[in-house]
Amino acid sequence: MIIDDHYYLLSMERIRSVKARYCRYIDTKQWTRLPSLFTEDCRFEGLGSAPAGADVATFVSGVSARLQNTISVHHCHMPEIVLTGPASARGVWAMEDYVEWQDGSLAKETPGHRGFRGYGHYEEEYRGEDGEWKISFLRLTRLRIDAVPNESPRALMGRLQATPDWLDHPDTEYLNWSTN
């Protein structure tokens, strides 16, 4: 399969952008936007919020219910992405997540504790549909999970919150400048 450099680089960047939005949508609890990142037939494995083989609706319902009263921080980095066809790819992302329940609930991953910090990898497949790359398979693997003990300092609340639609309204002056 011969793929030109421009298409390859553009595909890599678009896939990275999908994964960045995945982390941002989950941490800022943008549940209505989350399904747009997945193909209709996407399947999920290895997640605490949905059973193996779950579809998109089951995953979004599960993750939104599970993380509703949490502070979560998901970081994905060092992607290894391979195009497997003109509209298909596979990737592995190193990941770290921090999840802390704010309502007195305890983490099932670390019984008796109010949260956890986890480390592992996302193994994913992607498919290009109508000019967009989407996640068509997502598996979370874990290397380690550390407890956030109940006696740890509580998160500082009331900080400046993320703007959910920050990228929906680009600066028009910049757009005019960049096309000249």
Task: Identify whether 63 is part of a domain.
Answer: yes
Query: pLDDT confidence of 37, banded at 50, 70, 90?
Result: very high
**Inter-residue contact 73 to 27 (CB < 8 Å):** yes
Mean pLDDT, residues 47-71 taken together: 95
For residue 129, which of 87, 177, 95 has the smallest C-alpha distance? 87
Task: Identify whether 170 is part of a domain.
Answer: no
Residue 68: CATH number of its domain:
3.10.450.50
Provide the domain limits for residue 96. Answer: 5-154
Residue 65 has pLDDT above 80, yes or no: yes
Tell me the pLDDT tens digit for each residue of 132-149: 999 999 999 999 999 999
Q: Report pTM.
A: 0.89
Task: Identify whether 164 is part of a domain.
Answer: no
